[in-house]
Amino acid sequence: MTQARREFLKTAGIASLCIPFLGMSRGTKKEPIAFQEIVKPPALRNGDTIAITSPAGAVWDAKQIDLFCTILHNLGFKTKTGQTLREKYGYFAGTDEFRAGELNSFFSDKDVSAIFCMKGGWGCGRILPLLDYENIRKNPKILMGFSGITSLLIAILSKTGLVGFHGPVGNSGWNDFTLDYVKRVLIKKEKVLYTSTGKEEDKPLTLFGGKAKGMLIGGNLSVIAGMMGSDFLPTWKNKILFLEETGEEPYRIDRMLTQLKLCGVLDQISGFVFGKCVKCLAEEPEKAFTFQQVLQQQIIPLKIPAFYGAMIGHIENKFTIPLGIEAEIDSDKGTISLLEQVVS
């Protein structure tokens, strides 16, 4: 038995802590409903309360929680921290029932105006069947995160029509660039034009020229690939798909894009944006394609507007991108334009 396995078994007893949430999440859960229209959550206002949860990975550095709360307080918000921020169950922030129950409770809480995720990591996919989608639709709120939070954003949009936000998590770098987009999208209700930082290393690269319109859907590539075949996905026709990834070799990116291709996703979308692929280098480059070559092979034959290099992903300077909102991309300029307000 490995040390990791022994540690896991020792922490298994923490499952008993989820008892208060078990009855809530299972007792109120109803069959998911198919949404008929897009639901836009209310914009954030000064003095609103933001709940902070960790629906996937455990938070190992408690100082990050205090730092994030300070950032939000300085922006004029109150905070309500979830119990998941301090739970450890293997690599999760509590059992599946515990994490799902907390998210369900925050959507029900009338004092909470928005829900921000403390971190990503694997785990959200496991709680999708435990969420109360009817309750979420009746209590629309801003839900924001990225990476592993992708499955939550997509599933909730697919089941309820609620617009979600692919943006920074609590342990992200909340610098001026990132904060600016959070404010413009969630507070000021702007129809944002997303452009790069202007730095040479952030200059977008055109894969196939032109403009395309469609509803924005996307997030982490491996998370989306892992959802293929489930009933937590939207229809892909005429959508603009945006992706990001980190720590994956080019052949794995190739494999996951091929999975999307074989499932019919890439043949239906109207436009394609790949944000940043961080640390996506081959271990043996002389025997491999580069990440850019994989994109060229997979995306250019689609003959739809497509570009690489948007400020989306595991990077310090991040866009806050809404899922479920109509937008237009210009792949020659490397821009994304929102065509409507994203909050009410």
Query: Which of the residues are catalytic?
Result: 147, 244, 314
Cβ neighbours for 245, distance < 8 A, ≥ 6 positions apart: 220, 221, 222, 253, 277, 278, 280, 313
Do strands 205-208 and 321-323 pair parallel, antiparallel, or not at all (unpaired)?
Answer: unpaired
Residue from 289, 243, 291, 247 nearest 266 by CA: 243
- How far apart (Å, rounded) are the C-alpha atoms in residues 156 and 134? 10
Residue type, 216: L
Number of neighbours of residue 97 by Cβ within 10 angstroms: 19
CA distance 2 to 61: 24
Query: Do 178 and 202 meet the contact criterion of CB atoms below 8 Å apart?
Result: no
> Nearest-5° angle of CA 268, CA 274, CA 275?
145
Structure tokens at 218: 């996307």
Buried b or exposed e, range 246-282, using 16+ CB within 10 angstroms: bebbbebbbebbebbeeeebbeebbbbbbbbbeebee
In 276-318, which ranges are continuous DSSP H helix?
Answer: 291-299
